[in-house]
Structure formats: C-alpha cells, structure tokens
Amino acid sequence: MKRITILAAMFIIAASSFAQQALWGGQAIVSPEIHENNTVTFRLRAPKAVKVAVTGDFLPPQPTETPFGKYDLPGTAELKEGEGGVWEYTTPAPLASELYSYTFIVDGLRINDPANVAMIRDVASVTNVFIIPGNPGDLYSIKDVKHGSVVRRWYDSPTLKEQRRITIYTPPGYESNNQTYPVFYLLHGSGGDEEAWIALGRTAQIMDNLIAQGKVKPMIVVMPNGHTQNTAAPSESNRNYLPAMGGGPRQAVASMEDSFGDVMKFVESNYRVKKDKANRAIAGLSMGGMHSAAISAQYPNTFNYVGVFSAPPIATMMARNNDDVAKNTEDFVKKLQVQQRNGFNLYWIACGDTDFLYQSVIDSMKKMDEIGFKYTYSESAEGHIWKNWRIYLSEFAPMLFK
C-alpha cells in the first residue's frame, strides 16, 4: 500500500511538471504582453517550426468573398524566431481599446497560445482573447464592482417536446432581496447558442459595469438557444453534433417564434420579473435580430423595447428568389402595423456599414418608412462582427425601462 502511495505521488508530481512544461514551453513565456503604450507582443516557443504566424482581429482584415457576400476575415502576421526557438511578433502600432481574439499558425497548423488561458469558442473555433484597457475595453473587463450571477438552467418546452438549456443573468443583489425586475431577452446569431452572448458578448461584464455606473437599470437578461433543432450548446446536449452555422442533429419540431412562449412562461414562473409589456425587452444579433423582429411582431403587445442588430427586420425580403417573398413580406408588414398600433417605446436597428446584410437592412427600413413604422437607426463602421454587437448591447441596454 505504501509503495502504491509513493508511486501515485511520483505520478502526480511528474504529471504536474509535464503540464507546466507543456504550458510554458520550458521557460517563462509571456504572451500576449500588453505594453504601456498598448502595443502587444506575441510569443511562442517552437524550436522546430519553419514558419509561425499569428492571426486575429487586431490585424487589418482580409476582405473575402463568401456565399453570403464579402466578409472580413482576420488578418495574419509572421513571427520572427529568436533565441531558444522563441518566435515573436510585436504590433507596429498601439491597439485601440477593445477585446481581441487570436490564434497561432505553426507550419500551416492552427494552435492556441499555450501561455494564455483566456479562450472563447465561436461556432467551432476556439481562440485566445485579450483586452486592451480603456473605452470600451474596460466595459468588457471584470472590475471591482458588485457582480450579478450567471446560471445555466434547463426548462421544459412543450412546444418543442423536450427540455432545453438556457443562460440567465441576474443583477447584483437579486438573491438577497425580494424585488421584482424587468426582463431582457437577448438572442444569438446562427453560429451561436445559449453560451454566445455570455462568452463572446461579455454580457455579464457589460451589465455589471453599466449597472455600477448607474447607466443601466438592474434587469434580468435571458439568453436562450435559438436553434430549435438543438437542446443546448455542443457538449452540453444529449445529442452528439458538431457546431455549425445553423446546423443541428435533427429536424426542428417548431420555430423559435412559435416556441418562445415556453421561454417566457419558464422565466415568469421561476424568476421575480415584472410581467407586463413596459418591463419586457427583446433584442438579438443576425439570426437573433430576425428572431427578435419576428417574435415581437408575433407577440405584438408584449415588448416595449425591440433591438435588431445586424439583421433585416423584414427578413422575408432577403430571399430574393423565393416565389413567396412578396406574400410573406406582405403578411409580415401587416403584423408590423398591428405592432405599431399597439405602441412601443423603442424599436432600435443597428448595422455596420460593411456588413454583408447592410443592403437588406436598408431595404427593410425603406419598407418600414412606406408604412410609417417608427424606428431608430444607428449605423457603425465595419461588418458582421462581435466588436459591433458588444457595442450595440452597451448602447441599447441603457435605453431600456426608462
């Protein structure tokens, strides 16, 4: 027994040493290193490599044609090899305050930075991240303020005939008081799931910091999974599938719009939320923006605040070759007119000027103008990227529940 214990201890020490060696490459590698002037140095120990590059959204984008149109992909830069096989690259200019993602490419193989434990999954890609301080980077950072809670729960969806996973943010102090709160439903895009807004969108950090600054009213933020053919994010579901843009392991039983009542019922039965139109908001990005427009039109007297980020509110106008486009658009416009008659406080549309959906957004707003539908439009630079969506969230949330 004593010998087994000693062997076990030796194994743990050896494993720990191997893990440390694997993590640091045998020496104290600091990567990324953010300098005082906000230039950044990336390092990787790869003594047998022939070519090492870094790719990330901190580099000038590479416009690339995709089936959806022109899309900005992350740029690349080559590292130079130094002593001990440590490759290095320093940005030639300071980086603007922001949250950035990156990975290394070693002889054609994409790998994560072993010196940086901060990672985020976007669809099927896992990348390292870092934050340049300032505005808006400080908003996405964990500060010394009171923090809310983030929980992942399962709820029953009779419409979809299954249990589904949902992410919910409750504001600081929720567990220790008896107050009721307004509720904000926040929906992800086609490449996301119930993890997207909390991880890539930095929702908890944004809400904590804005609440602490007195710019946002404390609220509950509900982030469901918008893919009704999936129960939950990859590795969190009872169905084995690979993450994909809108993919899933089975045919959906019902749409997000038709099943959204199940989400609201769960939230209003299990959380202290105010159950009236004045205290409900819904918004989303890309596919989630289309869902937000459609859900708010399908429940035309339910939401006082609607946000459509990087998406055409009249989504049927996108399908140019569909024979039913005209009829579908007409039907949806009728729903918008009912929604307008019922009234709302804010219908906020935001899009980047190089977004591949930009023209569809403009076309939708022209149609809304024709019927006298009231909305507010905010246009930003750049395209269909999380940089914009985090900004949109930080601008939209302070306008809610006033």
pLDDT band for position 27 (cuts 50, 70, 90):
low
Does any domain span residue 153? yes
Distance CA 77, CA 90 (A): 10
Rg (CA), the chain: 23
Expressed in percent and rounded to 5, the helix, strand and coil fractions of the chain are: 30, 30, 40
In a domain, 144, yes or no: no
- 18, pLDDT greater than 50: no
Q: Which of 275-279, 315-319, 366-370 has the lowest mean pLDDT?
A: 315-319
Summary mean pLDDT of the chain: 89
Q: How confident is the model at residue 250 (pLDDT cuts 50, 70, 90)?
A: low
Say if residue 366 is in the same domain as residue 305. yes
Q: Of 85, 108, 134, which residue constitutes the final position of a domain?
A: 134
pLDDT of residue 290: 96
Q: Is 4 inside a domain boundary? A: no
Residue 327: predicted pLDDT = 82
In terms of domains, do 172 and 76 share one? no
User: Is the model more confident about 231 or about 24?
Assistant: 231
Give yes or no: residues 178 and 50 share one domain.
Answer: no
- Are 235 and 339 found together in one domain? yes
Q: Which pLDDT score, from 0 to 100, does residue 14 have? A: 37
- Tell me which residue range forms the domain holding 71: 19-134
Residues 51 and 187 in one domain: no
Could you tell me if residue 5 is inside a domain?
no
Give domain status of residue 218, yes or no.
Answer: yes
Q: What is the pLDDT of residue 17?
A: 34
At 63 the pLDDT is: 75
DSSP element (H, E) containing 262: helix 256-270
Of the pLDDT bands very low, low, confident and very high (cuts 50, 70, 90), residue 204 is: very high
Cα–Cα distance measured from residue 99 to residue 87, given in angstroms and rounded to the nearest whole number: 23
Residues 175 and 241 both lie in one domain: yes
Asked which of 109, 134, 159 is the last residue of a domain, the reply is 134
253: confidence class by pLDDT, cuts 50, 70, 90: confident
Are 165 and 191 members of one domain? yes
Domain membership flag for residue 141: no
Name which residue leads in pLDDT, 234 or 87: 87
User: Is 143 among the domain residues?
Assistant: no
Give me the number of domains the chain comprises. Answer: 2
Q: Do residue 34 and residue 61 come from a single domain?
A: yes
73 plus 127 within the same structural domain? yes
What mean pLDDT is predicted for residues 222-241? 86
Instruction: Give the pLDDT band (50/70/90) at residue 10.
Output: very low
* Cα distance between residue 43 and residue 45, in whole Å: 7
Last residue of a domain, one of 82, 105, 134: 134
Higher per-residue confidence, 190 vs 239: 190
Secondary structure element (H or E) that encloses residue 88, with its range: strand 86-90
Residues 283, 393, single domain; the answer is yes
Q: What mean pLDDT is predicted for residues 236-242?
A: 74
The CATH number that applies at residue 78 is 2.60.40.10
Say which CATH number the domain at 353 has.
3.40.50.1820
Residue 68 and residue 171 in one domain = no
185 vs 231, residue with greater confidence: 185
Give a yes or no: residue 65 inside a domain. yes
Q: What is the mean pLDDT of residues 214-241?
A: 90
pLDDT tens digits for range 105-141: 999 999 999 999 999 998 888 999 999 999 999 999 9
What whole-number distance in Å separates Cα of residue 19 and Cα of residue 24? 9
Out of 232-236, 381-385, 390-394, least confident range = 232-236
pTM above 0.85, yes or no: yes
- Are both 122 and 214 inside the same structural domain? no
